[in-house]
Amino acid sequence: MEMFAKALFLCLALALSNGAPAHPQEAAVDDADAGLPDRCEGLEFDAITPDDNGTTIFFKGGHLWEGFLGPAKPSNELFKELDEIHNIGHVDAAFRMQKGDHHDIYLFLDDKVFNYCNHTLDHGYPKPIQEEFPGVPAHLDAAVECPKGECGADSVLFFKGHDVHVYDVPTKTVKTKAWPHLPVCTSAFRWLEHYYCFHGHNFTRFNPVSGEVSGSYPKDARNYFMRCPNFGHGGDSKIIKCSDVVLDAITSDDTGKSYFFAGPMYMRLDTIRDGLHAFPITRTWREMTSGVDAVFSYTDKMYMIKDDQVYIYKGGAHYTLIEGYPKTLKEELGVEGHVDAAFLCPNEHTVHIVQGQMIRDVDLTATPRVANEGWPLPLPGIDAGRCGPEGIEVFKGSQYYKYKSAMTLAASRIAPQPLDITSGMMGCQD
């Protein structure tokens, strides 16, 4: 378990567009030997943005890096119009914005904005910044999108010096704020609900509404956002093999986000465009200081079980512990004893609880809640389980088993053929 928890933390530093950290043999080419800029030397990035596939792009001068490791390449290899049209080759600011079922990338150069979809420049671009974003100044330092729920409305934060120009997308209006306590950002980056101001080779995490900085900052980006020799998780660090994976819990919420829990860490998958990302559990659920035994989602709430306690968190932009919790398993679910796994199928109200080699059901609409007598399982030692549109998956070590329904799982006397956890699922090394 400790080994996999460390691997989850590595994903934070090494995640790529397909959600899987690079294999050790994919170590970065020495940029200095190729006559290219080397981000491990502590460069000050001009702009940072994810592309429409989820790969993070770092810009510096006329070059860019795709992902958190690998060599630099000329920017015009991906965005050829930067030189052909504007003949500058550098990017002042960049951000990605969702439009319908796809994402567009906006690149800012002096007083112009370029709009790309799938690395193809949209018709009519580049345009003057004022035409596309009225009230936003030219020669920007940084930009980052801020969707509704994290900001009051769908917005873009444009940075210039200590001023932040908050562009309201629906109304096309701008409000200017002064955040003198925040370093001057040469680039800005949103990673899930976290916002980062990059300055020099450091970064500072900030609140996108107030600009407030909490925690110990600045931190060196080379310890978190790239793989560099002798820094953080770079150098000789290894990615865990999929055959060594062991989970404590797994669940998916009503918005389709999946959560994997192991030891003190959890990994979250939103969409393939955002990849896999790992964080300490306490960053999102601060009361869960000792990890979890089982987790399931019901309506807009997350139920987290540890020992004989149930913690219920209300969802939203941030999870909040509901007043009066934790409560005992007996009080909340009518269950006593250790819980190995718990899962709830979409649009249902019955949670299935695994205890040893028994599965028991609890109707969440009943008052009081009472667990039934249960049924024996064909499979001992289940670590985690989840239910989705394609059926049930129960995890045991580095393998999992698929069942069409809870009834099929309870009625089975022989376990189906086990399936191996893959790098695409967990970001491990095949």
Q: Which of 174, 192, 223 is the last residue of a domain?
A: 223
Domain identity same for 61 and 158: yes
**Last residue in a domain, options 223, 253, 275:** 223
Q: How high is the mean pLDDT of the chain?
A: 84
pLDDT band at 85 (very low <50, low <70, confident <90, very high): low
Q: Above 70 in pLDDT, residue 320?
A: yes
Residue 406: inside a domain = yes
Q: Which residue has the higher pLDDT, 11 or 106?
A: 106
- Confidence band for 34, pLDDT divided at 50, 70 and 90: low
Average pLDDT over residues 291-316: 94
Task: Determine the structural domain holding residue 351 and report its residue range.
Answer: 242-426
Q: Which two tokens stand for residue 415?
A: 């376990």
Residues 258 and 385 in one domain: yes
Q: Domain for residue 11, yes or no? A: no
Residues 181, 290 share a domain? no
The predicted model gives 314-341 an average pLDDT of: 93
On the question of pLDDT at 24 being above 50, the answer is no
Q: Flag the least confident range among 24-28, 74-78, 139-143.
A: 24-28
Q: How confident is the model at residue 307 (pLDDT cuts 50, 70, 90)?
A: very high
Mean pLDDT of 313-320: 84
Residues 78 and 140 in one domain: yes
- Does one domain contain both 199 and 256? no
**Residue 329 backbone zone (phi > 0: left; psi -120 to 50: alpha; other: beta):** alpha
Q: Which residues pair with 276 in a beta bridge?
A: 269
Residue 374 to residue 85: CA distance in whole angstroms:
69
Residue 179 has pLDDT above 70, yes or no: yes
Q: What is the pLDDT of residue 118?
A: 84
Q: What is the mean pLDDT of residues 15-29?
A: 32
Q: Is position 97 within any domain?
A: yes
User: Is the residue at 14 inside a domain?
Assistant: no
In which band, very low, low, confident or very high, does the pLDDT at 19 lie, cut at 50, 70 and 90? very low
Q: Are residues 279 and 178 in the same domain?
A: no
CB neighbours of 59 closer than 8 A, spacing ≥ 6? Answer: 45, 46, 47, 48, 75, 90, 91, 94, 187
Integer Cα distance of 181 and 292 in angstroms: 37
| Residue 224: how many other CB atoms lie within 10 Å | 17
Same domain flag for 274 and 381: yes
Return the pLDDT at 242.
81
Number of domains in the chain: 2
Q: Quick one: pLDDT at residue 99?
A: 77
Share of the chain above pLDDT 90, in %: 54
Please report the pLDDT score of residue 52 as a whole number: 79
Give the DSSP H or E segment for 282: helix 281-284
Residues 318, 208 share a domain: no
The predicted pLDDT at position 233 comes to: 46
160 located within any domain: yes
What would the pLDDT profile of 220-256 be if each residue is shown by its tens digit? 998 888 878 887 643 344 456 788 889 999 998 877 7
88-111 pLDDT per residue, tens: 558 999 999 987 677 899 999 999
Which residues touch 357 (CB under 8 Å, ≥6 apart)? 376, 377, 379, 380
pLDDT tens digits, one per residue of 341-367 = 999 998 899 999 999 999 999 999 999
* In the predicted structure, residue 271 carries a pLDDT above the cut 80: no
Other C-beta atoms closer than 10 Å to the C-beta of 215 total 7
Q: Which of these, 271, 253, 266, lies nearest to 315 by C-alpha position?
A: 253
- 385 band by pLDDT with thresholds 50, 70 and 90: very high
Residue 286 has pLDDT above 50, yes or no: yes
Domain membership flag for residue 108? yes
Q: Are 251 and 211 members of one domain?
A: no
Q: CATH no. for residue 312?
A: 2.110.10.10
Mean pLDDT along residues 45-74: 88
Could you say which of 191, 223, 255 is where a domain stops? 223
Regarding whether 131 and 33 lie in a shared domain, the answer is: yes
CB burial class (10 A; 0-12, 13-18, 19+) of residue 61? middle
Q: Can you give the pLDDT at residue 384?
A: 96
pLDDT value at position 81?
84
Query: What H or E segment, with its residue span, contains residue 66?
Result: strand 63-66
Whole-Å CA distances, 200 to 43, 112, 219: 6, 25, 11
Q: Is residue 173 part of a domain?
A: yes
List pLDDT tens digits, range 119-155.
899 999 999 999 999 999 999 999 999 999 899 999 9
Q: Mean pLDDT: which of 177-181, 268-272, 313-317 is highest?
A: 177-181
